[in-house]
């Protein structure tokens, strides 16, 4: 009986976990030219480019203030740049070097 109850509980929990799907979130973002955003982040907030990467349709830059560890994530294309995340207490994770 106990094994049956545990099996039922496992099935119930696994079905709840499988029900958790992806969803789109709409949130306000601040956008401008990349030049304007870079000037503001470096001048006003003391943040410098720390990481960059490319996606399917846009590119990303992570800015970090090396003194107080604030950070800003910027998504940009040729036409526009948008701040999509900001925060504090950034930590550099080491995954190795790019080859």
| Whether pTM exceeds 0.75 | no
Measured CA to CA, the distance from residue 21 to residue 60 in angstroms comes to: 25
Per-residue model confidence as pLDDT tens digits over 12-43: 455 544 557 888 888 889 999 999 999 999 99
Per-residue model confidence as pLDDT tens digits over 51-62: 999 999 999 999
> What is the number of residues in the chain?
99
Beta-bridge partner residues of 59: 54, 76
Tokens of 49: 């480019």
Higher per-residue confidence, 71 vs 19 = 71
Going edge to edge, which strands form the sheet with 81-87? 30-32, 81-87, 71-76, 59-64, 48-54
Q: How many CB atoms lie within 10 A of CB 54?
A: 8
pLDDT at 2 over 70: no
């Amino acid at each position: 009986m106990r094994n049956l109850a545990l099996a039922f509980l496992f099935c119930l929990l696994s079905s709840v976990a499988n029900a958790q799907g992806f969803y789109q979130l709409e949130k306000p973002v601040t956008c401008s030219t990349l030049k304007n955003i870079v000037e503001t982040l470096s001048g006003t907030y003391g943040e410098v480019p720390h990481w960059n990467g490319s996606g399917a349709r846009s590119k990303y830059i992570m800015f970090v203030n090396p003194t107080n560890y604030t950070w800003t994530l910027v998504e940009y294309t040729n036409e526009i740049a948008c701040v999509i995340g900001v925060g504090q207490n950034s930590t550099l994770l080491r995954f190795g070097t790019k080859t």
